[in-house]
Amino acid sequence: MRVFVLGGLVTLFFVAGLPRAAGQATTAKASAPIDITGYWVAFVTEDWRFRMITPRKGDYQPVPMTEQARKTADAWDPGADEASGNQCKAYGAGAIMRLAARFHITWQDENTLRVDSDYGMQTRLLHFAAHSSPGVRTWQGYSTAQWEKPGSLKVATSNLRAGYLRKNGVPYSENAVVTEYFDIAPIPGGGQVLLVTSIVDDPENLRQPFTTSSQFKKEADGSKWDPQPCTAK
């Protein structure tokens, strides 16, 4: 009897502790270790003057820019961006999660997370099942996603259109690669916070990968959702 009990315990340990056998297909949605869907609002406790207002030309600190990037930023012309249809340059994947915005995260299908922003009205698609061709370059690029056990989401984005890290023209190139980690945590007293750590790697414009982490508070519904188009100024 004792042998049966012990055997059962050992079997339970291995069944519970080992990963599923290969071939047991499951969707990203079904295997999600955390739930990041819902409405999230940026809680702007850092870099306020770079995020809530458009900083002055030349106010770049503390971005680790190359000399070439500085020259590019010094030539920033928001009027020209608007005239050329590039008013969304500061809303690309390299910067969007740092904007003072609301985000609505949903499952587009079983293997694709969709992230919509109200400010700039952008849409990101985070693909758990990679496509063969990422297509043309866009502001949001092409994002691949994977769950990191026990409870985190990793997203890698490339195939971008060149954009701005800040609204005052701090540039990133189309070769930039953005790596992000999404984590969630409870707020004492109630609520949830979404933490997004973002690493923009762009040797052309950055002396070292530009690393920021942004906080978002979960909202009960979309009653404060306020879509606004991109502006260059």
The answer to whether the beta carbons of residues 115 and 198 sit under 8 Å apart is: no
114 binds other proteins (CB under 8 A): no
Closer residue to other proteins in complex, CB, 108/197 = 197
104 contacts other proteins (rule: CB under 8 A) = no
Find out whether 63 and 172 touch, Cβ atoms under 8 Å.
no
Positive or negative, the CA dihedral 208, 154, 90, 161 is: positive
Nearer to other proteins, 29 or 57 (CB): 57
Q: Does 231 bind other proteins (CB under 8 A)?
A: no
Using rule CB under 8 A, residue 2 touches other proteins: yes
Shortest distance in whole angstroms from residue 85 CB to other proteins: 23
Give the shortest CB-203-to-other proteins separation in angstroms: 16
Query: Binding to other proteins (CB under 8 A): which residues in 170-189?
Result: 181, 183, 185, 187-189
Choices 22-30, 37-45, 71-79, 135-143; region in contact with other proteins by CB under 8 A: 37-45
AA letter at 209:
P
CA 71 from chain centre, in angstroms, equals 27
Q: Which of 39, 40, 50, 164 binds other proteins (CB under 8 A)?
A: 50
3-state DSSP assignment of residue 83: helix
Choosing from 35, 148, 222, 227, the residue that interacts with other proteins (CB under 8 A) is 148
* Residue 122 burial (C-beta neighbours within 10 Å; 0-12, 13-18, 19+): buried
Is 32 a binder of other proteins (CB under 8 A)?
A: no
Q: Does 52 bind other proteins (CB under 8 A)?
A: yes
Q: How far apart are CA 147 and CA 155, in angstroms?
A: 9
β-sheet bridge partners, residue 59: none
Take residue 23 and report the two structure tokens written for it.
């071939």
| 62 preceded by a cis bond (ω within 30 of 0) | yes
d(CA 44, CA 6): 54
Q: List interacting residues with other proteins (CB under 8 A).
A: 2-3, 6, 9-10, 13, 17, 41-50, 52-53, 55-56, 59, 61-64, 100-102, 118-119, 148, 150-152, 154, 181, 183, 185, 187-189, 193, 195, 197, 199, 208-215, 217, 224, 226
